[in-house]
Structure formats: C-alpha cells, structure tokens
Structure 1
Amino acid sequence: MALNIVIMAAGKGTRMKSATPKVLHKLAGRSLLGHVLKSCEALAADARIVITGHGADQVEAATQGVSFVRQMPQLGTGHAIQQVVPALVGEGTTLILNGDVPLIETTTAKALIEACAGHALVLLTVDLADPTGYGRIIRDPDDGGVLAIVEHKDATPEQRLIHEGYSGMMAAPTGALKRWVGALTNNNAQGEYYLTDIVAMAVAEGLPVLGIKAHNEIEVLGVNDPVQLSQLERAFQARQAEQLMRAGVRLADPARFDLRGTLTHGQDVEIDVNCVFEGDVSLGDGVRVGAHCVIRNVKIAAGARIHEFTHIDGEAAGASVGEGALIGPFARLRPGAQLGAEVHIGNFVEVKNSTLAKGAKANHLAYLGDATVGERVNYGAGSITANYDGANKHRTTIGDDVHVGSNCVLVAPISIGNGATIGGGSTITKEVAPGDLAVARGKQVSIAGWTRPTKKR
C-alpha cells in the first residue's frame, strides 16, 4: 500500500515574535521541521508533502527532498489537509505530522502506520499533567474506542478535566481521508475547519478509531513561543545526556551539556561542564574535554586532551586531532586542521588548513595557515605563516626537527628543510636548506646616554 507523509508547517507562529517562520527555529542545532523530516527518513514513503503558508518561500528554500502544497489563507488543520488532497497518492495510508512538534520518534510513527494498515483511523494521544490547549480524547466507556476529539476551546468544563490529549498527529486511510475532509464545515467557535471532526465521521461510518499513546510527553510537545522552545531544548539535551552516560561517557554535569549534532565515542571519555558539540564529532577512547569548549565537525583520537576554552570548527572540510595530542587552553582549530599524534597546540594558537606531524609543537600565541609541518617541529611564540598575498593563498612547508624562534614571519610560498633553525624575530622569504640557520632581522643599535621625551606641562 502507498504511504503518504504530510507535515503541516503553514502556521505563522505569532507568539514566537520573530520574522523567522516557526518551523525553522532551531532545536539542538536543527530546525523544528528538520527534526520531523529526520524522524521520517526510515519510513520509505511514496510521497512526502510539507504544507506551507506563512513564510512559505523561506520554508521551501530551507527544505530539501520533499514536495510542497501551500495553504493560503490558513483556515485550520482541516483546511490544510483539504489543500493537500490532490497531491496524495494511492489508496493506502496517510500519516499526518506537525512541523512544530519536532521530537516524534520513528518507532511511534511506524506504530501509527502499522495500526492504520489502510483501514483504521489511528490517533496519537498522550496523558498530560496539564492538558490545557490540547483537544480532549472522548472514549467509549464500554470498549475504550475513540468516539471524538473535542478542541480545548470548545470543551465543556467536564471535558476539560480529561487528561488524555490529542497530539495533533494521526494516520488515516487515504481514500477515506479525502472523503472526510471534503465534508468538513467550520461551524465552531473559531470559524475554522478542524481535522479532528473526521473522528465523528469515521465513527458514523463504523470504521475503527484507535488511540495509541506516545511513549512519553516529550515526543508530542509542540513549540509556540521562545519559552516552550527553551524548555524543549533542555528536555531534549537531558535525554541525550542520559543516553551518553548510560553508554559510558562521564559528564561532569549533564545539565550543562549541549549536543547539536551527532557524537560518537569510545570508552572512558570525560566531558567537563558547558561544552557544546555540533555537527559530526568523534571522540576516541580516553579523550578528555575541558570546560567551556565548542567542538564542531572533528575526529579526536584516543588519549587526546582538549583543554578548557578550546574552539574547534572543522566545518565541511573537517578537522582531526591525533592520538595523545594536547590542545589548548584557548586554542582554535579551523577547517582542514590535521594534527598527528602527540601534537601540542597551546594557548592562543590558531591552526587552519594545515597538517602537523607527530610530536610537532606550537605552544603559544602563533598562527599556522596553509602549512605542512614535519615531526618534532618547535614553532615559537608569536610566529606566523604569511599565507595570503591579498589575492591568493600559498603554502608553507616545514621539515622534520625544525626550530622556529619566537616572533617570526614565514612568507609563503616557502620551504624550510629538515633540521633548519629560524632565528627569533626573522622574516623569512627564501627557501632554507636542511640544517641551516636563517636569520633575517635588522641590526641592533644601542645609543648611550639617550633620554626619553617628557610631557610638556
């Protein structure tokens, strides 16, 4: 049977008080709509359709791999599905999800689809401590089947005491869904077309109406304002932190941990407080990450130590840190930084698009850009590679066992041979042969009896 997945993402999100459409606001580094689409990847749908409306151009430009139907104007959830009817394929099952309910689990979505099987209307419900704002599930007292959903705005005082709420998500037989939404009216307090009214239609036709409860409240929580977004962020981060700790990662304080991507890890990994991980990060056995680090798109090998306040951003090119390397504190690794085993990158050192071989060290106040650095190189404080001529980038090659003194400028393109020494304060513009000492600086002049200028009164 054909499977349609429809995601409603047309709402304005007035309470977000933002020019950004609500479904594009970020949760753990991914848009709300992106989370929903991620959950659907394994469902092998014949059609994936996003209903857009407010900010449609922005939403559609930011979303790949789906088709779009616009709801203009927005006259309720039933009206939204009326717009999508011509795009539905086959006579199987249509799964309807919400673009501002980001943490729906793939297993839950599969359960809805399987229970529907093209012939039953299946609602995703949840037991809530505070069901305010949710449609209430009205069940048959005899067999527990669902009889109706009553929107909070239209519920009686007695119905508002019910704690089982409708999540806004369902799976329906596609053919019946088309028929039902065509019969919807807007005779209600808001003058809108409610998708929930199809429950009564299904009951009247004698079709099974089932209610499946979500595993937990977090997967059905929606986002309507920045407060709810921040609350859901913390709940999601707490869940990720717990999963990592159960897998063996030691977090100094799980309440002060943020993962905004994917984190793979070995054994005996330790992470201190207030660290942020983004993109794809891999931590080998025994890696230790100090407090207040931002780490993005990097592979860090076993035994490496990332000291406090280090910033690593591999971007699309990625970065890597070798086994037993020491990075930081206050170091910065940029895209293309490839550090070998036992490399030391110290405080206020920046590395970009450079390879450092085993045992190379740049411990203080230095810049290495577009460089290839050999084994056991000592790169002095205040030294830089001048890799940009104002139009093009050029490469610096430094051989094994080179010693670069403090406050040197290596003007690329340039090559320094194995075992060479660069005297402190030198500006090097020509190739240095292996084993040579290169010094390029002005002659020191001393003036005896010189008097400093004094301020005029």
Structure 2
Amino acid sequence: MSFPVDVVVMAAGKGTRMKSQRPKVLHRLGGRALAQHVIDCAARLSARRVVVITGHGAEQVEAGLAAPAATALSFVRQEPQLGTGHAVQQAVPVLQDDGVTLVLSGDVPLTQAATLQALLDVCAGQHLALLTLDMPDPTGYGRIVRGDGGEVCAIVEHKDASEAQRAIREIYSGIMAVPTRLLRAWLARLDNRNAQGEYYLTDVVKFAVADGLAVHAHRITDAVQVAGVNSPAQLAELERAYQRRRADELLVQGVRLADPARFDVRGELVCGQDVEIDVNCVFEGSVQLGDGVRVGAHCVIANAVIEAGAVIHPFTHIEGEKAGVKVGAGALIGPFARLRPGADLGPEVHIGNFVEVKNSTLAAGAKANHLAYLGDAIVGERVNYGAGSITANYDGANKHRTVIEADVHVGSNCVLVAPVTIGAGGTVGAGSTITKDTAPGALSVARGKQVSIANWQRPVKQKKA
C-alpha cells in the first residue's frame, strides 16, 4: 500500500436503545470497549492516525479508549449530532490530503483487518470504495443502488427509500475508504434535505457519480463483520459470535474445549499443545497455558502464566491484575482455590480447596491443601501448611513478611504473626500463635494450657413460672 491511511471512527451517538448511562461505544465485548476493538483493528492496518469523533458522553469516551503502540490517537467532538456527514466534517481539519480516509463505526467491533485491507486495495488511493453486504432482511440499512451495468450509483437510506429500493438486499455497511482530497470537497457540498433532516455521509456517492468518478464496492458475505450494536440483545448476540470465533481459532490450534459454546476469552489467551479446557471457563487479560495444562469447569483466570502440566481444578479463581500470577509446572490448584496478585507458585506446588494465596512465593513441592491463607509470605521447598492456618500479615497500617523455610510443617489452625521466620525443618504445633522467630528443626507450640473439669454440668435453661 503506497498511500497513507487515516482512520476516522464515528463514536458520537447516544445509543438510546442500550438503556444505559454508559455511552454505547464503551459497552464491552470480549472484555474490551466496542470502540477499542475498532481502534485496535485500525492499528493492525498501520494507520497513520486514528481520529475518534465523540459527542454523547465525550469525556467518558475519550478517557475510556487507549491508543495501541505506535498509533497516533486523537479526538474531535461533534456537538450537536447532525448526522454522519456532519460527524466526518468535524474530522476534516485534522486530515491530510495526501492520504486515504477510512471511515469506521465505533459500534461495529468485529470487522477484520484483512477485510479492511481488501477495501483499501479496491480504493487504491484513487476511488471511493464501499464495504457492502447482501442481507436477507436489510431493514434499517442504506441500500446500494446500481445502474444497468452494475455500477454503484447511490446509497439510499432506508427511511428515504422507495418500495422498489427497499427490496434491494445489498446494503452499505457504514464503512468506506475514500481519497481525503475528494472527501473534503464532497463533504462541503452536503445538505440536510431528507426525511431525517440530517447530513448524510452516504451522499458522497451521488457526488462522486455526478463528478464522473467510478464508485467501487467490496462485497462480503460475513454479516458478523459489519454487525452493529444498538441494544443489549444485539450486544449479547455479538458476544457469542465473537466467543465462538475465538473458540474455533483455538480448536484449529489443537486445544481441546469441552464445549466451544461455553467458553469466554476477554483478553489474550495463548495455549501450548494438548491443553484441555472444561466448560464455563473465563479468561481475562493476558493468560498463558503451557503444554498439557488442564483447566476444570467454572474457572476464572486473569493475567496469569500457568506452566506445563499444571492442573487447575474446577471453581478456581486466579486474579493476577497488574502483579500477575505464576503457577509452576505440574502444580495442582483447587478446587475452590483463590490465587491473588503476586502469587508465584513453583513446580509441583499443591493449593487445595478454600486456600487463598496473595503476594507470596511457594517453592517446589510446597503444599497448602485446605482452608488456609498465605499473604506476603516466602514459603520454602516441601513445606506442609496445615488446614485453617493463616499468616497475619497486616497490623492495621502496614503489611509484613512471613518466611517459612524449607521442610517446615505447620499444624492446623495456626496463626503466624508477621514479621516472623519459621526455621528450616521446624514444626509448629496445631493451634499455635507464633509471634517470634523459631530455630531450625525446633518444635514450637504456643497455646493455652488445656484444662478439664470432671463431671461439669452445662447450664440449664430456667422454665418460666
């Protein structure tokens, strides 16, 4: 492609049918805002700049979108909103005449970069090129009107179309590529003499025809790529289509999904060979699954690296956030476990049911199998951490570190009050509250003396007179 591409994203609409205070283009699909999908796709085209036209909820929209690496992102505002042509007019001052303007919609999130590249190839830096689609029911869409020779003559909006024109099934997707120097001149000729009283961007087609310039169409058959979101029902439908496509990509790679229809990726999921994923799992942020990893049903995994051979049993919740979570090779996690940011588990670590780990490192072979909490801890190799035990890491103002050295055995229902170090090979007796460092190899017991009163009688409830 020998010409620069500037992308204009229309994102000014209110989205009344969403029944939401959130601007429509910020509603999320696959974990990202609708308009963010569009911006990210533009970045894959190596666009020179991306200009987002905002209007309703402009401050929210502008704060909620981000520029991918090496992409220049800017915003212009359309106030008031007087139609699609009026919207693009707001972007004209920041566009350069040496390039092609690619017009996209912020509520059409699943157009593929390859499709847009094909449209740009049709444009070739010289022609007005439209992305079109044949639809069984084209109600509500602008119709592509062609001449006797099959050439595109006009786009007629549904509300302005005659009965004969409404019978046309080829529709305009809302996506066009046009040399900017031509677009600038055509936008200056727009008027609002139509049923809506708006300035239609689609009128540039009749201007091109009037100027004797051919209008080209790139027709596709994949309706999902040009499907817009106008209601919660449409958003939910498009979410399932998106997730099914992600599932199909993984299946082609060899990932075993128990049911591709019950699977959600809301970010980036990278899988090695022989990965197995059971039903109703959700992956958020950046997740990497190594060779042979098995993920049980109903797990939520966010921002984590899970190494080869690890097993994540059902109902496990891994939430890495910015610090991330690492699960070592061959580790066994869950069921009903929770790994929080900063959990770094070595090879063959076992984290069992109702165990929570946060900002802690567990070395190879360490085990916490039941009903326990490890926070701000360094745990050595082969440690056995008993059921009901906790690290008391927070004094009400600051967090403190607990160090449990290699081969320590911590009995059930213990409290390790940080900062504290349990020496290598030591044992902490069940029910102990440890507040001081313990020596290597020592047995440490800190609990009240047991007292038994023989033949003790429980109080008896007095009967009312």
SS in 1 for 2:43: helix
Q: Give the conservation status (yes or no) of the 8 Å contact 1:119–1:207.
A: no
Cα distance in 2 for partners of 1:248, 1:44 equals 30
Cα distance in 2 for partners of 1:55, 1:391 equals 39
Cα distance in 1 for partners of 2:349, 2:48 equals 51
SS in 2 for 1:179: helix
- The residue identity in structure 2 corresponding to 1:53 is G
* Residues 179-198 of structure 1 mapped to structure 2, 5 A cutoff: 179-198=185-204
How far the C-alpha of 1:90 sits from its partner, in A, is 3.0
Higher mean C-alpha displacement, 133-142 vs 371-380 = 133-142
How far the C-alpha of 1:91 sits from its partner, in A, is 2.5
Residue 84 (1) aligns with residue 74 (2): no
SS in 1 for 2:261: helix
Q: Give the conservation status (yes or no) of the 8 Å contact 1:2–1:89.
A: no
Deviations 1:31-86 (A, max 9, x none): 00010011011222232110000000100111233111110110100111111111
Q: Give the conservation status (yes or no) of the 8 Å contact 2:264–2:281.
A: yes
Aligned to 2:241: 235
* Residues 9-408 of structure 1 mapped to structure 2, 5 A cutoff: 9-65=11-67, 66-142=73-149, 144-214=150-220, 216-408=222-414
How far the C-alpha of 1:350 sits from its partner, in A, is 0.1
- The residue identity in structure 2 corresponding to 1:375 is E
SS in 1 for 2:314: coil
- The residue identity in structure 2 corresponding to 1:39 is C
Q: Give the conservation status (yes or no) of the 8 Å contact 2:379–2:404.
A: yes
SS in 2 for 1:158: helix
Cα distance in 1 for partners of 2:97, 2:192 equals 28
- The residue identity in structure 2 corresponding to 1:266 is G
Cα distance in 1 for partners of 2:27, 2:416 equals 45
Paired residues in the alignment total 456
How far the C-alpha of 1:215 sits from its partner, in A, is 5.4
How far the C-alpha of 1:124 sits from its partner, in A, is 0.6
How far the C-alpha of 1:243 sits from its partner, in A, is 1.1
Cα distance in 2 for partners of 1:320, 1:80 equals 47
How far the C-alpha of 1:141 sits from its partner, in A, is 2.9
Deviations 1:67-122 (A, max 9, x none): 11110110100111111111112322101000000011111222222222321000
Cα distance in 2 for partners of 1:314, 1:198 equals 49
Q: Give the conservation status (yes or no) of the 8 Å contact 1:214–1:220.
A: no
Cα distance in 2 for partners of 1:28, 1:150 equals 33
Q: Give the conservation status (yes or no) of the 8 Å contact 1:297–1:315.
A: yes
Aligned to 1:436: 442
Q: Give the conservation status (yes or no) of the 8 Å contact 2:134–2:221.
A: no
- The residue identity in structure 1 corresponding to 2:322 is A
Cα distance in 1 for partners of 2:422, 2:16 equals 61
Deviations 1:136-189 (A, max 9, x none): 1112231x2211111111111221221111100100110110110110111111
Cα distance in 2 for partners of 1:153, 1:251 equals 45
Please identify runs of 4+ aligned residues in structure 1 that moved more than 4 A: none
Q: Give the conservation status (yes or no) of the 8 Å contact 2:355–2:369.
A: yes
RMSD between aligned residues: 1.0
- The residue identity in structure 1 corresponding to 2:449 is K
Cα distance in 2 for partners of 1:257, 1:371 equals 34
Aligned to 2:70: none
- The residue identity in structure 2 corresponding to 1:279 is G
Higher mean C-alpha displacement, 40-49 vs 286-295 = 40-49
Cα distance in 2 for partners of 1:215, 1:434 equals 71
Unaligned runs of 5+ in 2: 68-72
SS in 2 for 1:445: coil
Q: Give the conservation status (yes or no) of the 8 Å contact 2:5–2:100.
A: yes
How far the C-alpha of 1:129 sits from its partner, in A, is 2.1
Cα distance in 2 for partners of 1:398, 1:27 equals 43
- The residue identity in structure 2 corresponding to 1:422 is V
TM-score under structure 1 length normalisation: 0.98
Deviations 1:398-434 (A, max 9, x none): 1111000000000111111110000000000111111
% identical aligned pairs: 68
Deviations 1:20-39 (A, max 9, x none): 00000000100000100110
Higher mean C-alpha displacement, 15-24 vs 105-114 = 105-114
Cα distance in 2 for partners of 1:278, 1:104 equals 22
Deviations 1:275-329 (A, max 9, x none): 1011111111111111110011101111111111000011111111111111000
- The residue identity in structure 2 corresponding to 1:67 is S
- The residue identity in structure 1 corresponding to 2:253 is A
- The residue identity in structure 1 corresponding to 2:29 is L
- The residue identity in structure 2 corresponding to 1:80 is A
SS in 2 for 1:124: strand
Higher mean C-alpha displacement, 59-68 vs 75-84 = 59-68
